[in-house]
Amino acid sequence: MIRAGAALSCDPDAARAAADAASRALAEAGSLAADAALLFAAGPVDLAAATAAARGILGTRALVGVLGHAVAAGEVEAGNGPAIAVLAISGVDAAPFAIGRDDGPDAIGLEVEGRLARSLGESDLVVVFADPLGPDPARLVEALAALAPATVVGAGAALEAPGRQLLACGDRRAALGACGLVLPLARPARVGVSQGCRPITDPLVVTRVSGHWVLELDGKPALDVFRDVAREPLADDLRRAAESLLVALPRGTSWIARRIAGFAPERRALAVSASPRVGSRLRFALRDADLAREDLAHTLAGLGPAALGLHLCASDRGRALFRHEGLESALVACALAPAAVAALFGSFEIARIGGALEQLAHASVIVAVDPSNS
């Protein structure tokens, strides 16, 4: 039976914080030692010192550490200043894996199955974390998709942390491009994805493009269409408008949200963080706190109680979206109770949308694991 515990410490000393969080997480799990663990850190944290201290308390080398923008354990969220959250897991024979920063993304498949010493099955849960400036995210997602039929989720580490270690796996000291854990389960984990926005236009046909720049939609200048959707006064403040209006790109019967990357008023064009093709379709989607909370509640309603929960969240959610620190983490923790839940607010998310594995932005990926899994 899987048992788990989660705890957070804001002690400014990384080793003390990690030891404190690990000790309390282990106590909550009711175990003398952990079989696997995740350590999420935020702020100016020495990740190597933190993971070494946590390993000493938890008694496992199957520990993965990630530096993000904010972290949470249960209902407690922290993003301002140093913070460490530890999720201790017992009752599962987890396999850690890692690839170097200079390795190609395709290496991850061989690494995962080599560490597991067997082929992946549909009940395996693969949790992966990536250096956002390491392996190309699109190629990494393609490589991870090949791990089917396993359930794959993931996140990008902090994007703005120059010179700081972003990832740690066991006692490996080489610079890592990606790392994570494989959790062999008796039944597949339940995964929910909340993108926190809602399409508000009919599908629009891309009729002219230039690279990332969308020049025309339905034969009209793309920026004119955007301004019509934004309306006054946002239509005259493109920066503010882009905070509320995203682009929704179709994916099977669903869609994924992408931020508008820029505007070219002289060309009456807008850029999206994708490469749209002539003839493809997109919609504009509205993003605000009320819609995001409604969408999150809908997602959580289908997950139910669990023993272990994992919340991989965009850095522009949490307090940045809901205006109250800890609100999103509290909603997730309450929905999954009595699960031990740890959260990482990172640079991107990875989950399955519309039948395909995708790199997401602005999303919350929530994973629920039943206690009877082992």
pLDDT of 159-177, one tens digit each? 877 778 999 998 887 789 9
Confidence of residue 374 (pLDDT cuts 50, 70, 90): low
Q: Residue 67: beta bridge partners?
A: 41
Whether residue 281 lies inside any domain: the answer is: yes
What ranges make up the beta strands (E) of 118-251?
124-130, 151-156, 167-169, 176-184, 190-194, 198-199, 204-210, 213-217, 220-221, 245-251
Tally of helices (H runs) and strands (E runs) in the chain: 9, 26
- Of the three residues 243, 265, 286, the one that is the final residue of a domain is 286
DSSP label at residue 361: S
pLDDT value at residue 232: 75
Residues 159 and 137 in one domain: yes
Contact 97, 181 (CB under 8 A): yes
Whether omega before 221 lies within 30 degrees of 0, making that bond cis, reads: no
Whether residue 97 lies inside any domain: the answer is: yes
Average pLDDT over residues 9-27: 97
Whether residue 183 lies inside any domain: the answer is: yes
Residues 119 and 241 in one domain: no
Q: How many domains does the chain have?
A: 2
Whether residue 330 lies inside any domain: the answer is: yes
3-state secondary structure of 92: coil
What is the spatial distance between Cα 293 and Cα 368, in angstroms, rounded to a whole number? 19
Residues 222 and 153 in one domain: no
Alpha helices in 39-133 (DSSP H): 47-58, 107-116
Residues 185 and 132 in one domain: yes
Residues 183 and 317 in one domain: yes
Residues 184 and 202 in one domain: no
190-202 per-position pLDDT tens digit: 999 999 888 999 9
Q: Residue 368: beta bridge partners?
A: 190, 309
Whether residue 374 lies inside any domain: the answer is: no
Residue range(s) defining the domain that contains residue 235: 198-286
Pairing verdict, β 281-286 and 198-199:
antiparallel
- Of the three residues 286, 304, 337, the one that is the final residue of a domain is 286
Quick one: angle between helices 137-145 and 107-116, nearest 10? 40
Residues 244 and 158 in one domain: no
- Of the three residues 258, 286, 314, the one that is the final residue of a domain is 286
pLDDT value at residue 315: 87
The pTM of this model reads: 0.92
Residues 237 and 100 in one domain: no
More confident position, 221 or 80: 221
What is the spatial distance between Cα 79 and Cα 326, in angstroms, rounded to a whole number? 10
226-255 per-position pLDDT tens digit: 999 998 777 788 988 988 899 999 988 889
Whether residue 314 lies inside any domain: the answer is: yes
Question: What percent of the chain stands above pLDDT 90?
Answer: 72
Contact 17, 10 (CB under 8 A): yes
